[in-house]
Amino acid sequence: MPAKRGPRARLLGAAAALVALAALVSCTSDGGGKDPAGSRDGTGSTKPRSEAVRLPPVPDGFDYQIGGAYTPPSGVRIVARDRGDDPARGLYNICYVNAFQAQPDEQDDWPDDLLLRDGKDEVVIDADWDEALLDIGTPAKRERVADRVDQWIDGCADKGFDAVEPDNYDSYTRSDGLLNADDAVSFIKLLSQRAHARGLAIAQKNTVELADRRTRAGLDFAVVEECGAYDECGAYADAFDDRVVVVEYTDKGFEKALDGFGDRLSVVRRDVQVSTPDSDDYVRETG
Residues 236-248: tens digit of each pLDDT: 999 999 999 999 9
**Distance separating alpha carbons of residues 77 and 8, to the nearest angstrom:** 31
**Distance separating alpha carbons of residues 223 and 245, to the nearest angstrom:** 5
What average pLDDT score do residues 138-166 get?
Answer: 98
Say yes or no to pLDDT of 172 above 50.
Answer: yes
What are the C-alpha distances in Å from 25 to residues 30, 55, 122, 164, 245? 10, 18, 39, 22, 19
What is the model's pTM? 0.84
**Distance separating alpha carbons of residues 58 and 76, to the nearest angstrom:** 11
**Distance separating alpha carbons of residues 181 and 187, to the nearest angstrom:** 10
Encode burial over 45-64: b for 16+ CB neighbours within 10 A, e otherwise.
Answer: eebebeebbebbebbebbbb
The pLDDT mean for the chain works out to 87
Of 28 and 255, more confident: 255
How confident is the model at residue 270, as a pLDDT?
A: 98
How confident is the model at residue 7, as a pLDDT?
A: 32
How confident is the model at residue 1, as a pLDDT?
A: 53
Q: What is the largest CA-CA distance in the chain?
A: 52
What average pLDDT score do residues 9-14 get?
Answer: 35
Say yes or no to pLDDT of 44 above 60.
Answer: no
What average pLDDT score do residues 17-38 get?
Answer: 36
What average pLDDT score do residues 106-122 get?
Answer: 97
